């Protein structure tokens, strides 16, 4: 069964950067620049590796504390240089744990880069597979996984509170 | 399900697109079961089942007094879920602050390299 993400359970963040889309893409895909993904103030002596092709892997050691370290990264699903990057999030033997034979069990990350003058708008989207039960999604979240529901509860709350104030 | 913590119940209730659409309708004000059922090709028992899940999660309440028993959105569990999710948004927001710093360094290095090569000419 192919992976579907139709429920759109996940979260979206948008950021604008003062750099061309090609440079933002480089910061995501060139191991020489991936340092920003590390935890602040920590150090790893394991260089990041990137095999930038569809099906290729990106691996990087995360160091939360000197005692708590793990590999993370992804398997690329779609690569459009300077525009779009889609990867299954995780690492074999790392976190999130990723099974190369069952990639569609992994959260899917989509990064879209849109030039805006000299700047770049980055849309970052994490999606959970539809086959995840709510409990499974909840388990991921409780494991420190970044998540949420794309129904943008905050917006729902804002709309309701505005309506309540008006009445 | 009885032992589920409130946040899990909230997210389980929100996991269904029909229930989310019902909540979205209720942001515009209270509605009867019939009004909530209208946009969907669902039987009333199915709609009632969805409403029961929402009610048990504390996301809606039913007015007992009125004959039509309209449903009202309850804001507290949503606000709680939102506050909880904020910490996860924060995780990435912090990462992207660092990406911003990284990009500034890359741009500065490139500008310097460009001015050096121009100076050589």
| Per-residue model confidence as pLDDT tens digits over A99-118 | 899 888 888 999 999 999 99
Give A136's pLDDT tier (boundaries 50, 70, 90): low
Q: Among candidates A142, A11, A165, A148, which has minimal Cα distance to B75?
A: A165
Q: Which pairing describes strands A69-80 and A10-17: parallel, antiparallel, or unpaired?
A: unpaired
- Return d(Cα A112, Cα A143) in angstroms, integer: 26
Task: Please report the pLDDT score of residue A1 as a whole number.
Answer: 41
Task: Please report the pLDDT score of residue A39 as a whole number.
Answer: 74
Q: Give me the residue from A35, A37, A149 closest to B14, CB to CB.
A: A149
- Return d(Cα A110, Cα A14) in angstroms, integer: 12
The complex scores an ipTM of: 0.74
The domain segmentation of chain B, as residue ranges, is 6-74, 76-121
Task: Please report the pLDDT score of residue A143 as a whole number.
Answer: 43
Bridge partners, residue A78, by sequence: A86
In degrees rounded to 5, what are phi and psi of residue A63?
A: -125, 105
The better pLDDT of the pair B106, A150 is held by B106
Q: Which pairing describes strands B71-73 and B60-62: parallel, antiparallel, or unpaired?
A: antiparallel
Task: Please report the pLDDT score of residue B6 as a whole number.
Answer: 75
Instruction: State whether residue A111 sits within 8 Å of chain B by CB.
Output: no
Mutate to test the interface with B, among A157, A159, A163, A167 (most CBs of B within 10 A): A157
Task: Please report the pLDDT score of residue B85 as a whole number.
Answer: 64
> How close B103 comes to chain A (CA, Å)?
7
Query: pTM of the entire structure?
Result: 0.65
On the CB side of A138, CA atoms within 13 Å amount to 16
Q: Domains in chain A, please, with CATH?
A: 10-166 (3.30.530.20)
Adjacency order of strands within the sheet including A49-50: A10-17, A119-127, A108-116, A84-89, A69-80, A57-63, A49-50
In the predicted model, what is the mean pLDDT of residues A140-164?
46
Architecture of the domain defined by B6-74: Orthogonal Bundle (1.10)
In the predicted model, what is the mean pLDDT of residues A72-89?
96
- Return d(Cα A129, Cα A7) in angstroms, integer: 8
- Return d(Cα A125, Cα A85) in angstroms, integer: 11
In the predicted model, what is the mean pLDDT of residues A87-110?
88
Q: Among candidates A151, A153, A150, A156, which has minimal Cα distance to B28?
A: A156
Task: Please report the pLDDT score of residue A151 as a whole number.
Answer: 38
Tell me whether the omega of the peptide bond preceding residue A54 falls within 30 degrees of 0, making it cis.
no
Task: Please report the pLDDT score of residue B90 as a whole number.
Answer: 72
What b/e string do you get for B34-68 counting C-beta neighbours within 10 Å, with b at 16 or more?
Answer: eebbeeeeeeeeebeebbebbbebbbbebeeeeee
Task: Please report the pLDDT score of residue A48 as a whole number.
Answer: 92
Q: What is the largest CA-CA distance in chain A?
A: 60
Task: Please report the pLDDT score of residue A126 as a whole number.
Answer: 81
Are A71 and A60 within 8 A, CB to CB?
Answer: yes
In the predicted model, what is the mean pLDDT of residues B34-52?
90
Instruction: State whether residue A70 sits within 8 Å of chain B by CB.
Output: no
Residue numbers in B near A148 (CB within 8 A)? 85, 88-89
């Amino acid at each position: 069964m192919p992976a579907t993400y139709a429920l759109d359970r996940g979260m979206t963040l948008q950021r604008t950067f003062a750099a061309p889309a090609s440079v933002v893409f480089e910061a995501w895909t060139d191991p020489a620049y991936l340092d920003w993904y590390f935890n602040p103030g920590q150090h790893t002596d394991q260089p990041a590796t990137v095999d930038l092709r569809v099906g290729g892997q990106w691996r990087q050691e995360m160091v939360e504390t000197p005692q708590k370290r793990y590999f993370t990264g992804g398997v690329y699903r779609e690569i459009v240089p300077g525009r779009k990057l889609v990867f299954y999030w995780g690492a074999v033997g790392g976190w999130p744990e990723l099974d190369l034979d069952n990639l569609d069990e992994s959260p899917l990350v989509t990064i879209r880069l849109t030039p805006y003058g000299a700047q770049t708008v980055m849309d970052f989207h994490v999606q959970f597979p539809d086959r995840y039960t709510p409990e499974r999604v909840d388990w991921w979240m409780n494991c420190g996984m970044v998540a949420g529901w794309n129904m943008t509860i905050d917006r729902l709350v804002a709309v309701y509170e505005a309506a309540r104030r008006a009445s | 399900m009885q032992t589920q913590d409130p946040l899990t119940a909230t997210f389980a209730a929100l996991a269904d697109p029909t229930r989310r659409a019902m909540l979205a309708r209720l942001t515009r004000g209270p509605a009867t079961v019939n009004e909530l059922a209208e946009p969907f090709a669902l039987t009333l028992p199915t709609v009632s089942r969805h409403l029961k899940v929402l009610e048990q999660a504390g996301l809606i309440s039913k007015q007992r007094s009125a004959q039509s028993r309209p449903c009202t959105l309850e804001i507290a569990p949503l606000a709680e879920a939102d506050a909880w999710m904020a910490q996860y948004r924060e995780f990435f927001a912090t990462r992207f602050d660092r990406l911003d710093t990284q990009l500034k360094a890359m741009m500065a290095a490139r500008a310097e390299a460009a001015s050096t090569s121009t100076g050589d000419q």
